[in-house]
Amino acid sequence: MLDTRLGRLAWSPGLSAHTTLPAAELRGKSQPQANNPTATGQKRNFFSRGPDSLEKEWNLSGSSSAASSDMAGENSATGGRTGVRVVVAGDRFTGKSSLIAAAATESYPENVTHVLPPTHLPADFFPDRVPIIIIDTSAALENRGKLIDELKRADVVVLTYACDQPLTLNRLSSFWLEELRRLEVKVPIIVVGCKLDLRDENQSISLEHVMRPVMHEYREIETCIECSSVTLMQVPDVFYYAQKAVLHPTAPLFDQETQSLQPRCQRALKRIFLLCDRDMDGALNDSELNEFQVKCFNAPLQPAEIVGVRRVVQEKKRDGVNDLGLTLEGFLYLHFLFIDKGRHETTWAVLRRFGYGDNLELRDDGLPVPTKHASDQSIELKTEALDFLRGTFRLFDTDNHGALRPTELDELFSTAPESPWNEAPFKDAAETTSQGNLTLKGFLSEWALMTLMDPRRSLANLIYIGYNGNPASVLRVTRRKSVDRKKQRSERSVYNCLVFGPENAGKSSMLNALLGRPFSASHNPADERYAADVVDQLGGNKKTLILREVPEDGVKILLSNKECLAACDVAVFVYDISDEYSWKRTRDLLVEVARQGEETGYGVPCLLVAAKGDLVPYPMALQDSLKVCRDLGIEAPVAVSMKTGDLNDLFGRILGAAESPHLNIPETETGRKRKSFRRLVNNSLLFVSVGAAFAVVGMAAFRMYNARRNSST
């Protein structure tokens, strides 16, 4: 491995506009030329505005000495990355190896190996202080396998062409870029023209003219740059831009097509703005702006600098500033300017300081979700979190109708990456009004469902919508079900129920009934579906019941997971009382689940539901069901009719079965024999152990007796 450590960075502070083309410049309107990076600790201008540059007015440079030291100390300015892997690829004789060697040694290599070994640029090579590993590759056919492996391991790809060989430039779009897509190499690409010193001076076609359509089609291209290993012109810049494309990527922040901030970026910045707007007046005053600056960049603002910030915004965005300070529109516009001018690291520094990762979601290290718990334990929200959610619901229920309209719900989640309930399994999984508005019960039930299924996502969304308490105190891990069975009582607040049954037995109608939706006679075969609602119990207690409908053809897949019943509190088996086949299939499903519980030790309370009670039962329906219940040791079926609304306290009974986890656990004949055999073995072992203990005591007594007799003799 080649290793180089430079005491300085020997490169010019200005880039030539015709040899460096950032993506934002080519894809949008004509922009000022890109600014070249400088050595660690030095400032880089944001805009070509001379002495009135925004950086002088607002020190938001992600590479300023203060910012760098603060952010590097937290290892968040670069997203926690400890290295960047750059793979250099391209046609033969385009200057790949010479480019790498020139960057590593700061000199033109007279004799260079055909393919260099991995080359290391140390952490102090560039301002972000993240080491780089550069991988040289060969375009030879016999090395294709190695090339593909390296491309798939890359953090960023540098594609080279030779400035004196126009055919190699054409090959970028005709072969290389298509090949990267075919291989599904989804990383940033830096297009580099090498051998700039050999270009024909009479060549009149500009790089911008050639690359604009290419970059429009291949948006994974971050930057185009031309360089010379002989003169060292812009050689270090190649790897600076490669590193920057990984550490401070453009795509998550900026939509090149529309020339606007990406929706997730806008939502994250809106949340940051609201967190900084402590007096909640819709604008950042001087004090709040200063706090933001110190938090993100460890450097306060001077009064003149604050005036300068406002002036820059107000010149282009009238509603970006008002009498109270910098508005949300102005805050977003500032970041648009930074990104539009190629200063992505500034916005990334802000986002990472507030806990965001490269996907613009909160990083896992800021989400203290319990990880050490058994498969038969669940995770629930604590009372403090539920109180916060009730208050948030009332805050966004602007018309005070007791339900959130879709627009109100969208506004509530406008500071989250997206609304978490727009897709399965959360979509339509909770109680709504007849107009489709989400009730408070439905709102809390959605949170209970999300916490049960994905506690990390639930905690993240709590923080997104404004929860500012200790995130470690939000979630609680329930007691193990094995302990609940011993204590003969469950203390959970949320119960997970699996709903089994053959097609057209009435499972979906049962889920709809839980949500208070009217009965529908139409049959729509459903995939797996969830329904969650708060159920009132005797004594005023409230528990959340989550029903998970398991399609008949999905049972085998579910039971193939040996721990599928561990997280289940109760299982319900629904059958059509008028259809003998429906009953027999349900009976078989019940026995399958019972055996699974016996074999894995995760037996669950089971309840039979005789649905469609408004129809005439098939002959022997009652006798057959009672015999099976008696043989398995569970309660008689609950007869219901979703059509007439006669539910026979079905959901209360389901909760009752879940709260008594030691009852209604079906026991098959095989299970009984296994239990009897185990009891016999345990009794035998106990008898042997007791006998052995008596033998040991007897032997000891005999030895003591002999010893005393011998001593007396």
Convert the pLDDT of each residue in 357-377 to its tens digit.
999 999 999 999 998 899 999
Tell me: do 226 and 131 sit in the same domain: yes
Angle in degrees, 0-180, between the axes of helices 286-297 and 303-316, rounded to the nearest 10 = 100
Write out the two tokens for 286: 């001087």
Is the previous residue joined to 252 through a cis bond, with omega within 30 degrees of 0? Answer: no
The per-residue pLDDT of the chain, averaged, comes to: 87
CA-based end-to-end distance of the chain: 88
Tell me: do 93 and 167 sit in the same domain: yes
Q: What integer pLDDT is reported at residue 7 of this predicted model?
A: 25
Residues pairing with 548 in the sheet: 498, 530
Tell how many helices (H) and how many strands (E) occur in the chain.
25, 23
Q: What integer pLDDT is reported at residue 64 of this predicted model?
A: 36
Please choose, from the candidates 161, 132, 351, the residue with its C-alpha nearest in 3D space to the C-alpha of residue 246. 132
Distance CA 330, CA 316 (A): 9
pLDDT digits (tens, 9 = 90+) for 280-314: 999 999 999 999 999 999 999 899 999 999 999 99
Q: Give how far Cα 647 sits from Cα of 246, 510, 534, 586, 612, Å.
A: 58, 9, 16, 19, 10
pLDDT surpasses 90 at 686: no
Q: What integer pLDDT is reported at residue 40 of this predicted model?
A: 27
Domain-embedded: residue 307: no
Please choose, from the candidates 458, 450, 282, 433, the residue with its C-alpha nearest in 3D space to the C-alpha of residue 369. 458
Give me the domain span that covers residue 614.
481-667
Tell me: do 201 and 162 sit in the same domain: yes
Query: Where does a domain end: 236, 253, 270?
Result: 253
Mean pLDDT, residues 390-395 taken together: 98
Domain-embedded: residue 360: no
| Alpha helices in 540-668, H assignment, sequence order | 555-559, 580-600, 621-632, 650-659
Mean pLDDT, residues 545-564 taken together: 96
Is the pTM here over 0.75, yes or no?
yes
Residue 171: pLDDT band (50, 70, 90) is very high
Residue 689: pLDDT band (50, 70, 90) is low
Domain-embedded: residue 212: yes
Distance CA 222, CA 177 (A): 13
Residues pairing with 193 in the sheet: 161, 226
Query: Where does a domain end: 477, 497, 514?
Result: 477
Domain-embedded: residue 458: yes
> What's the length of the chain?
713
Q: What integer pLDDT is reported at residue 684 of this predicted model?
A: 56
Tell me: do 591 and 554 sit in the same domain: yes
Tell me: do 661 and 693 sit in the same domain: no
Q: What integer pLDDT is reported at residue 21 of this predicted model?
A: 57
Give kind and range of the element (H or E) at residue 171: helix 166-171
pLDDT surpasses 80 at 100: yes
Give kind and range of the element (H or E) at residue 575: strand 570-576
pLDDT surpasses 60 at 157: yes
Residues pairing with 572 in the sheet: 499, 607
pLDDT surpasses 70 at 681: no
- The number of angstroms, rounded, from the C-alpha of 594 to the middle of its chain's C-alpha atoms is 36
Lowest-confidence range among 59-63, 327-331, 347-351? 59-63
Tell me: do 514 and 464 sit in the same domain: no
Query: Where does a domain end: 647, 667, 687?
Result: 667
Please choose, from the candidates 181, 195, 203, the residue with its C-alpha nearest in 3D space to the C-alpha of residue 227. 195
Residue 54: pLDDT band (50, 70, 90) is very low
Domain-embedded: residue 368: no
Residue 5: pLDDT band (50, 70, 90) is very low
pLDDT surpasses 60 at 27: no
Please choose, from the candidates 191, 202, 207, 187, the residue with its C-alpha nearest in 3D space to the C-alpha of residue 241. 191
The total number of structural domains in the chain stands at 4
pLDDT surpasses 70 at 97: yes
Please choose, from the candidates 164, 134, 188, the residue with its C-alpha nearest in 3D space to the C-alpha of residue 344. 188
pLDDT digits (tens, 9 = 90+) for 229-281: 999 999 999 999 999 999 999 999 999 889 999 999 999 999 999 999 999 99
Tell me: do 122 and 179 sit in the same domain: yes
Tell me: do 135 and 217 sit in the same domain: yes
pLDDT surpasses 50 at 137: yes
Q: What is the side-by-side strand order in the sheet with 132-136? A: 2-3, 119-121, 132-136, 84-90, 156-162, 189-194, 221-226, 20-22
Write out the two tokens for 273: 């703005």
Q: Percentage of residues in the chain with pLDDT exceeding 70? A: 84
Residue 207: pLDDT band (50, 70, 90) is confident
* CATH assignment of the domain containing 117: 3.40.50.300
Helix (H, G, I), strand (E, B) or coil at 85: strand
The sign one gets for the Cα dihedral 43, 44, 46, 51 is positive
Distance CA 583, CA 611 (A): 10
Give kind and range of the element (H or E) at residue 254: strand 254-255
pLDDT digits (tens, 9 = 90+) for 583-624: 999 999 999 999 999 999 999 999 999 999 999 999 999 999
Domain-embedded: residue 51: no
Distance CA 585, CA 592 (A): 11
pLDDT digits (tens, 9 = 90+) for 464-513: 999 999 999 999 999 999 999 999 999 999 999 999 999 999 999 999 99
Domain-embedded: residue 347: no
Tell me: do 540 and 658 sit in the same domain: yes
pLDDT surpasses 50 at 6: no
Residue 687: pLDDT band (50, 70, 90) is low
Q: What integer pLDDT is reported at residue 675 of this predicted model?
A: 61
Q: What integer pLDDT is reported at residue 297 of this predicted model?
A: 92
Amino acid identity of residue 582, one-letter, is S
Q: Give how far Cα 13 sits from Cα of 44, 234, 498, Å.
A: 9, 10, 66
Q: What integer pLDDT is reported at residue 523 of this predicted model?
A: 72
| Alpha helices in 454-505, H assignment, sequence order | 455-464, 481-487
pLDDT digits (tens, 9 = 90+) for 651-676: 999 999 999 999 999 999 987 766 65
Residues pairing with 245 in the sheet: none
Q: What integer pLDDT is reported at residue 666 of this predicted model?
A: 96
The dihedral formed by the CA atoms of 484, 490, 496 and 501, expressed in degrees to the nearest 10 = 80
Domain-embedded: residue 284: no
Tell me: do 459 and 512 sit in the same domain: no
Give the 3-state DSSP-derived string for 256-273, with helices as H, strands as E and coil as C: CCCCEECHHHHHHHHHHH
Q: What integer pLDDT is reported at residue 693 of this predicted model?
A: 65
Mean pLDDT, residues 90-106 taken together: 96
Residue 527: pLDDT band (50, 70, 90) is confident
Angle in degrees, 0-180, between the axes of helices 650-659 and 507-514, rounded to the nearest 10 = 90
Q: For residue 456, count other CB atoms closer than 10 A to its CB.
A: 17
Tell me: do 181 and 97 sit in the same domain: yes
Distance CA 238, CA 240 (A): 6
Tell me: do 466 and 519 sit in the same domain: no
Q: Are strands 494-500 and 529-536 parallel, antiparallel or unpaired?
A: unpaired
Residue 28: pLDDT band (50, 70, 90) is very low
Higher pLDDT, 209 or 688: 209
